[in-house]
A = this chain, B = another copy of it.
Amino acid sequence: MTTRDPQATALARLAALFADETRAACLLALLDGRAWTASELARHAGVAASTLSEHLGRLVAGGLLAEERQGRHRYVRLADTRVAQLVEDLAAQVSPGAAVRPRNLRESSAGSAMARGRTCYDHLAGRLGIAVTDALTARGLLEQETGFALTDAGLAWFASAGIGLERRGRRPLARACLDWTERRPHLAGVAGAALCRHALDTGWCVRIGSERAVKVTAAGERALWDLLGVEAVALR
């Protein structure tokens, strides 16, 4: 054993957690921001429960997942927003290669629902996320020319819409998350999370199926038009 760069060791160790298809499938599934049980993930990934148990052990030990035991269930979720961002970054990097034709109608319709609108950990993504981000930018509420930040008008808009923006810790108020279907940045960070939570709480969107896909309701279409000038056609 020779003496090596500790940073390289740590980097390799972290990457190794992602470098398995089963674990990668789990991390992507957990991008929906919810807590999954071990058996749900085993079914999702298509491996035996015993196999998945070991994977979860590694992911938790590596700090990527937080676990919560409830009775005979083991719930896991992504440890924090830093981890979620890392999964997003990696997923965005590989998306061009993942642009594969759907093999059947079921995958096709599920895929297009995801492309239309979904959550990305704790904020809106897909065409819905892009449409909202573009609308914010067009109205001068979000600055994208010289970086990525809310403007003063943007802060006022959130306040007037009744969406609170409480900064917790060091998490940035606004940050760009690269969408892996649209290949364009959309709003993440505290503001993205608050907007998504508000959209789900007030019924602008509802989750469909058990995955991350969301659907804009009639009330949501009206609200997005009134508040941001988003045309319903942009969401389809």
Q: Which of A1-31 contact B (CB under 8 A)?
A: 2-25, 27-28
Is A20 touching B12 in the complex (CB atoms < 8 A)? yes
Most B CB contacts (10 A, CB to CB) among A15, A90, A145, A146 go to: A146
Per the CB 8 Å criterion, the residue count for chain A at the interface is 58
Is A5 touching B25 in the complex (CB atoms < 8 A)? yes
| B-chain residues with CB within 8 Å of residue A147 when the two chains form the complex | 143, 147-150, 172-175, 189
Question: Is A227 at the interface (CB under 8 A from chain B)?
Answer: no
How often does this chain occur in the complex, in copies?
A: 2
| B-chain residues with CB within 8 Å of residue A143 when the two chains form the complex | 143, 147, 149
| B-chain residues with CB within 8 Å of residue A151 when the two chains form the complex | 146
Segment among A70-78, A94-102, A121-129, A228-236 that sits at the interface with chain B:
A94-102
| B-chain residues with CB within 8 Å of residue A86 when the two chains form the complex | 89-90, 93
A209, chain B: closest CB distance, angstroms: 15
A14 and B189 alpha carbons, distance in the complex (Å): 25
Query: What is the interface of chain A, defined by CB distance below 8 A to chain B?
Result: 2-25, 27-28, 46, 82, 85-86, 89-91, 93-95, 97-98, 100, 103, 143, 145-151, 154-155, 172-176, 180, 185, 189
Further contacts, 19 of them, CB under 8 A, given A11-B24, A19-B19, A147-B189: A3-B103, A4-B25, A4-B46, A6-B98, A6-B100, A7-B28, A7-B98, A8-B22, A8-B28, A11-B28, A12-B20, A14-B94, A16-B19, A18-B18, A82-B93, A143-B147, A146-B151, A147-B175, A175-B176
